Chain A
Amino acid sequence: MRTLFRRRSALDLGPVSKAISYVLLVAWAFVVLFPLYWLAITSLKQPIDVDSGPVYLPGVDFKPTLDAWKYILVDLQSDTVRPYVNTVVVGLSSALIALILGSSAAYALVRFRYSPRVGVIGLFVGCILFTIVALALSAAVPLAVVSAAAVFLILYQTVGRRFKRVLGNSDVAFWLISQRMLPPVAVVIPIYVLFQRVGLLDTRQALIITYVATNLPIVVWLMRDYFSNVPIELEESAAVDGASPYRIFRSIVLPVAVPGLVATFLFVLVFAWNEYLLALFLSSANAQTMPLTVAAQNATRGPQWWYMSVLILIMILPVIAMAVALERYISRGILVGAVKG
């Protein structure tokens, strides 16, 4: 009897706190799962079952039907599959690209020291303004860009270097995150015009580029904290052994930071997967993504809850599968093992 209650390790909880923990975990799981259960049973209801007040148990309260599923998956097949494929392609590729670019930038901000000069930045912004004014005065695009670049280079070589005041790494990071502050409503028209000019409107590439740019700051900020927990001794000893910075990053830092990488990847994937307003503008027929399809179920006669539920459910299934597959990497011991080994 005694052995049953004896804890094997100091980290194990006592029986009372164990019971409380379970109660709390189950309680929150219920809070999370009940709305999803409601979605699931709504997807099995006839419109009449939804509108006549709440019914809870399929087979008891109401007769379940697969009509809504059939309508979305069979009747509207191509209208569902196309946005679905778009969402998968755009979500995965933008999340991967953002993770690669963002985590290397985060590593750089943690391990190297940058000191951009205020003068050079001011010069750069000035030249951008110059280009825009020139374009507004209807100068040719190549001419404006080339002359602005020339002005920038000339002044950079002469005046820009003389300003001694420098910024630090944290200023670079703050600039990055500040690019997320402007609400999408404000940036969506300029971005639309931008992609229209380049001829990428209604393509997956446009969405991928946009999501990479909007997600990068988040990747940088999250990964910066995870990387700063990686012991520098590991990297130093590898550097002494002659490994290049790229090799150190790839073979030592990244493997150690896997929990953070996975968490960050899931987050930016979800963000790109679910983004609505930018997708609404940048895509119409070809590149349409699933959030638009969900919102489109709000017909003139009010929202069609049953179709909407089906769409939301098939939208989250792959993300859940991915979370199940990746969850094991967000687990203990990877870092500890690396330091000892």
Chain B
Amino acid sequence: MASSDNSETLDARGPTPVEGSGLEVATGERERVAGHTFRAAVSAKNVFLWPALLVVLALSIFPLIVSLYLSVSRLEFQANGIDVRFLGFDNYASLLFGTEQDHFIGVLKPLTPVGWIIVAVVAAITARAFVSYLRGVNVRLLGLLLRAIAGLLLVGLVWLFAQTLFAQGGRPGTLFVTLVYVFVGIAVQYLLGLGLAVLATQRLRGQRFFRVVFLLPMTITPVGVAYMFRMLTDTGKGPFVPLFDLAGLQNFAWVNDPWGARIAVMIGDIWQWTPFMFIVLLAALEGQDQEITEAALVDGANRRQVFRHITLPALLPVTTTVILIRMIEAFKIIDLPNILTNGGPGTATESLTLEAFFDWRTLNLGRSAALAYMLLIVVTLIATAYVNLVRRRVTATA
């Protein structure tokens, strides 16, 4: 990791304002690109970065603004065209407090003792993190404010979550179902992917076969995976029917059980996306210097120690990246619940994107856009907190 250290320290060297002019020149830049003329370095800087930025910019700004506009309005389709009416925050209000609350957040009921314990534990951990930040050296007003807001939101979210799941008669809405998919799915996928990547880098015969096989699920189109799992989990003609019969579960229809259906969706998601974790971690493992590992083993360290103190730290940066990417993708889960269960039973397996899709199909574009923006807000909050708290720390220590 020496190289990344190096670039970090270089990065820390004073501000280097470059707005593409090449006129404002600072010393840090000169040292870094020793041997180049300054103009070459500055132009390379722009040539490397800007094409990518421009492509993304061109295709993202317009949709972002249009859907923001849709989310605060109502569209009515009439004979002579579309009538757009400005609503303000009505779409959001109905999701959070109004008629759609049961669907979006869930049915809220008083907490059971288990629920209270969960909320209390999360609140305590958050408070502790906040206090330890206050005791730190580098306290700034903006950081304090943002952390306070993030902490309150986190505890509030957990409190709501507990009211839907750890309460008599509570029922989670699409927001919390999505969060369950995301967090359970990612945890399982990461652990499986890491384990498989470690196994696939051992010196064993047949590794090429295993590596290619492990990649396969990712290569199938999500729509296809969803149909395939519908075929596999069919309670009448699926291949596991004899197994169910053997276990005495003939009459158990997973489709009619909320958690049965959710678990079926999660299994499909895990099956499909473990290969992503696998391939990225595999490439990272293969990029590691084997001599350090070998030297440690020769010096008498056991494999667990080597893994804990050499392999894992070196994997941390790429770990945080795959988790972030998968998190952002997993929040958008739609094909599996749509095709496998159609969101049912009731709305038990409906994800946020699927709810937005249903609204969108019934031409309720305003609420669909509002849902999409709620998703954007939730993902942005979680991803920002994640990047600031986890990723920065990891890349700083690695």
Contacts and interface: CB of A to CB of B under 8 A. Distances in A.
Interface of A: 9-13, 17-18, 21-22, 24-25, 28-29, 31-36, 38-39, 42, 50-54, 56, 101-102, 104-105, 107-115, 117, 120, 128-129, 132, 161, 166, 168-170, 172, 174, 176-187, 189-191, 193-194, 209-210, 212-214, 216-218, 220-222, 224-226, 228-233, 236, 239-246, 249, 259-260, 262-263, 266-267, 270, 273-274, 276-277, 290-291, 294-295, 298, 303, 305, 308, 311-312, 315-316, 319-320, 323-324, 327-328, 330-336
Given A38-B232, A186-B368, A291-B221, A54 B325 contact: no
B34 A239 contact: yes
Contact of A245 (B44, B228, B383): B44
29 contacts: A11-B293, A11-B294, A25-B204, A25-B210, A32-B213, A32-B214, A32-B271, A54-B241, A112-B49, A170-B387, A181-B328, A182-B373, A183-B356, A183-B375, A184-B332, A187-B67, A190-B67, A194-B59, A194-B62, A216-B55, A228-B4, A228-B317, A229-B287, A260-B284, A276-B223, A294-B227, A295-B223, A305-B227, A327-B212
Q: Which 10 A-B pairs have the closest CB atoms?
A: A186-B372, A108-B48, A105-B52, A274-B221, A245-B44, A190-B63, A187-B63, A10-B297, A213-B59, A239-B35
A51 B63 contact: no
B196 interface: yes
Contact of A323 (B65, B212, B360): B212
Contacts of A230: 3
Interface in B206-261: 206, 208, 210-224, 227-232, 236-242
Nearest to A209: B59
Given A182-B376, A222-B280, A327-B208, A276 B55 contact: no
Main SS at interface, chain B = helix
A126 to B, nearest CB: 12
A332 B1 contact: no
A56 B279 contact: no
Contact of B372 (A10, A176, A182, A266): A182
Contact of B3 (A39, A51, A229): A229
Contacts of B53: 105, 172, 176
Contact of A270 (B206, B218, B229, B328): B218
Contacts of B298: 10
A228 B392 CA distance: 14
B67 A182 contact: yes
A18 to B, nearest CB: 7
Interface in B26-61: 28-29, 32-36, 40-41, 44-45, 47-49, 51-53, 55-56, 58-61
